[in-house]
Structure 1
């Protein structure tokens, strides 16, 4: 498997990047110690949104239950009247997922499950439905006609994949692989007590108008992302694009991976940082290998955790190369080189 690996170390100050069902920062035990954790799904969403900001025409995918109205508009644009378009949109939606009958009673025309799609794909579905005429199975025929060309505006679907329980033919394996981000060291969740003053409170009265507590963490995270270049270029993904277009997709994706940060509590606990160290590796065979075991023994240091984490990461990588014979076509490091040079380097491995 031809692939790229991104190994990132990123120090984040007071933050709650990813919360559990009780509002507490997520954690995990690794190496016998509690670590700060940010789920892969959380950081993937941040990357997807950042990539869309960088390249809206190529990353136009959206996860939504609300596919009926855009499908209705597309069908009307193809000449169907309002009633025909409404019926056709509902039929297509029902083919994509389970219809939300309870929602319909409340005036919500939607399916029960999120469907990851794009404007071009919905447009293609509408065209295929109209081409099928009045056939009873027109919606199913339309779904079967979808091809990779319909994802030309949705590199995010090819990268992140989608699962469609009601029609496995629409399920697509993502070319990108994300691990959960873990702190390289032991982390204890801390409490922040806050209070707010009522601006209209009389001067002779004291006390807060509101008070409470919030949990937070600060940590140096090890983050890992890999990209299957062979899968990205196959016919079901972005095979319809030129090599140059796929290179641009990868440039955008890698930039988003390095710069995106989950947005939770960014107004009250702004923790916007960039990775302090990046090792990007290109390989022509094998499968992606994490370097997380560099931190199986939690890092400790009185002079900063980032530098100690970098040393541990580099030592683990050299050990794996020596013991297991890991072969790399190329390696790129920040801050030894600048950001644009790294992007150009990794994109050069895309065929």
Structure 2
């Protein structure tokens, strides 16, 4: 089995605002000497792991990322007949196993039941918490120290195995990510434009004109380059050595990264897109991104549009790396929608083989 698999994708999005900054405008990055649109890796990973494709393919093997487990435990214990004071104390004891509790100086109702940082609970840990709640309701006594040892090394949570988790107060149960995801950026110079819009009140008298609401939002469009590096050995190790589950995980990941778009403002822009081009590589060589291919913004040239020129630039950079450093992969597979070459099933089979 090769140690590393790498994916290089080109995906074209129409006018959209898939990933916003703190002002509500599309995120950007300066690449080379040109401003580009950007989609953060955090946005991409959340879209993939929360997608219907992931949930359908990996049901029972996905974790839950939350600060609110203590609140859920509290409500469960109260419904089971535990007095509110006891339920709160026991819920806090359970919640703090996964992170530091917020201050008791509550700024909102039940805020003291929350942990300060998001924790990624594996399915095994969620089941252990639920089982403990059931035991406490039946027994009507507080949890013991042994019962509160709820943290475990995840072995069945694919999203944790892929993207890792960090528990500041319990480093023993941290998981190193097996999948590294770069921020996607446009291969060409891109500008954030302003969309001025208005809304009309349906009950306005016919003779009255004007809008009941006006506003503006930023948007942009472009062809994005995305790079992923998958440590296949680490992924299988994170899944307890389960090769079959690793293969299911790889298939779900490939289908998500090629077909699932970030959810930002989809209702306003309908900017769903499939990847137009995918280069997959496998081998034991040190991984490398091909982002350098786009330091100089891509432009149409002659009969070649931006997509075709981007493919030429990417493959030229790949070949140049091979020439200078030696073969940077042992095997490759390409999916090219423009040429009608390759297939999604073929790509999945290549990575799983």
Give the match for residue 268 of structure 2: 268
Deviations 1:247-298 (A, max 9, x none): 1111111211111111111011111111110001111x23321000000111
The verdict on how the C-alpha distance between 1:167 and 1:147 changes in structure 2, with shifts beyond 3 A counting, is closer
The verdict on how the C-alpha distance between 1:298 and 1:98 changes in structure 2, with shifts beyond 3 A counting, is same
Work out which of the residue numbers 122, 126, 132 in structure 1 matches 2:126.
122
TM-score, normalised to structure 1's length? 0.87
Once the two structures are superposed, the pairs formed by residues 44-59 of structure 1 within 5 Å of their partners are 44-50=45-51, 51-59=53-61
Q: Cα distance, 1:71 vs. partner?
A: 4.9
Q: Cα distance, 1:94 vs. partner?
A: 1.2
The verdict on how the C-alpha distance between 1:344 and 1:70 changes in structure 2, with shifts beyond 3 A counting, is farther
Say if 1:74 and 1:123, in contact at 8 Å, map to a contact too.
no
CA distance in 2, matches of 1:278, 1:267: 27
Give the match for residue 281 of structure 2: 281
The verdict on how the C-alpha distance between 1:142 and 1:61 changes in structure 2, with shifts beyond 3 A counting, is closer
The SS at the match of 1:5 is strand
TM-score, normalised to structure 2's length? 0.86
CA RMSD of aligned residues (A): 2.7
The verdict on how the C-alpha distance between 1:138 and 1:90 changes in structure 2, with shifts beyond 3 A counting, is farther
Q: Cα distance, 1:329 vs. partner?
A: 2.6
Please identify, of 300-309 and 159-168, the stretch whose mean Cα deviation from structure 2 is larger: 300-309
CA distance in 2, matches of 1:286, 1:191: 44
Once the two structures are superposed, the pairs formed by residues 185-204 of structure 1 within 5 Å of their partners are 185-204=188-207
Say if 2:286 and 2:328, in contact at 8 Å, map to a contact too.
no
Give the match for residue 316 of structure 1: 317
Give the match for residue 290 of structure 1: 289
Work out which of the residue numbers 94, 97, 117 in structure 1 matches 2:96.
94
Give the match for residue 248 of structure 1: 248
Give the match for residue 13 of structure 2: 12
The verdict on how the C-alpha distance between 1:68 and 1:324 changes in structure 2, with shifts beyond 3 A counting, is same
The SS at the match of 1:204 is coil
Say if 1:65 and 1:112, in contact at 8 Å, map to a contact too.
yes
Say if 2:184 and 2:227, in contact at 8 Å, map to a contact too.
yes
Q: Cα distance, 1:112 vs. partner?
A: 2.0
Say if 1:70 and 1:122, in contact at 8 Å, map to a contact too.
no
Work out which of the residue numbers 200, 206, 218 in structure 1 matches 2:209.
206
Say if 2:60 and 2:123, in contact at 8 Å, map to a contact too.
no
The verdict on how the C-alpha distance between 1:270 and 1:95 changes in structure 2, with shifts beyond 3 A counting, is same
The verdict on how the C-alpha distance between 1:184 and 1:63 changes in structure 2, with shifts beyond 3 A counting, is same
* Unpaired stretches in structure 1, ≥5 consecutive residues: none
Q: Cα distance, 1:110 vs. partner?
A: 2.0
